[in-house]
Structure 1
């Protein structure tokens, strides 16, 4: 005789794991594309150095593209670091705690610190991008890049990816917390 409550629990758990997997796959796919910003950044830096020191002609456009590519790598790298558990943490403290206690602290930190921070940044970033778009904002340099809103759009886009990554991690932490000890 099977317990219908345990079947419902296992079905719910499987559904949450599937959702976490979907979130992680989305983050990993976006990260796979955005990681190319580092290769482009290196190419732009090399071109800028050659232009500046080889031909005595540095271009402002190259300087600005460097900052934009660097921003893309860093902003989208946050979500990737969360998914792959490669973010900076205080392992000295965590190594002294029981695994379930570490999970509880991660859940606490996520709910009371990470999600509120993401909310504030997301809430404000949409207007930030919209205002830039409405003003047709461009670089203050005469030969700088147009469409400043485009790079500013990396803020909400990357924090949406971070939300998916953190939510996936939170789901997995809740599941790990509710599993019975073996």
Structure 2
């Protein structure tokens, strides 16, 4: 169990570092989009390559951060029934969902996407748009992102099995944190209390 937990920590660290690097792509994407819009408005010029690189970067952020979202329990979850169960039942549901839903879906996508990438890479496929970019880097993002998601799935199972065996902490505790809306509401309450304190 100690080896599995150590492996889980390594997977978590890898996916966190990849995601934190991918966060910077949002800034790059924003700068490219802004620059493209300014050039188009001022000089009446545009570039298909600049438009396509924005799509590539968006895909990179989405796919390279998917595993990190799973690690932080930030993916979409319907808690209407799940939240009514005991913690141990919730953990078993997580394991069941990972093994019977996440893994089969991810493996099918991985199996189907890898040959598409290889074909694109060997043929040097480029976009059909004039001045477009090579397509294989974008096609590579899908199998890489899905592979990292599979690794994170194993990490989540290791943590949950350790918890059920009494050998690890609750893997869901303290992950989600308050939502942005909850944080905003708390800030508004603080400001209101501050204003009421000054008015006295």
What TM-score bracket applies, with the shorter chain setting the length? 0.7 to 0.9
- 1:73 matched to 2:61? The reply is yes
Q: Which runs of 5+ in 1 are unaligned?
A: 1-12
How many equivalent pairs are there? 167
Structure 2 match to 1:159: 146
* Ranges of 4+ aligned residues in structure 1 off by more than 3 Å: none
The aligned residue for residue 129 of structure 1 is 117
* Equivalent in the alignment of 2:164: 177
Please give the secondary structure, in 1, of the residue aligned with 2:65: helix
Match of residue 39 from structure 2: 51
State the Cα deviation string for residues 15-49 of structure 1 (Å, max 9, x = none).
Answer: 11111001111111111222211111101110111
Gaps in structure 2 of 5+ consecutive residues: 168-200
Corresponding residue number in structure 2 for 1:18: 6
Structure 1 residue 85, shift from structure 2 partner: 1.4
TM-score (norm 1): 0.88
In the other structure, the counterpart of 1:27 is: 15
With structure 2 as the length reference, what TM-score do the two structures score?
0.80
Q: Which moved more, 1:31-40 or 1:41-50?
A: 31-40
Distance 1:155 1:96 in 2: 35
Task: Output the aligned Cα RMSD.
Answer: 1.2
Residues 79-90 of structure 1 mapped to structure 2, 5 A cutoff: 79-90=67-78
The structure showing larger relative contact order (alpha-carbon pairs under 8 Å, at least 6 residues apart) is 1
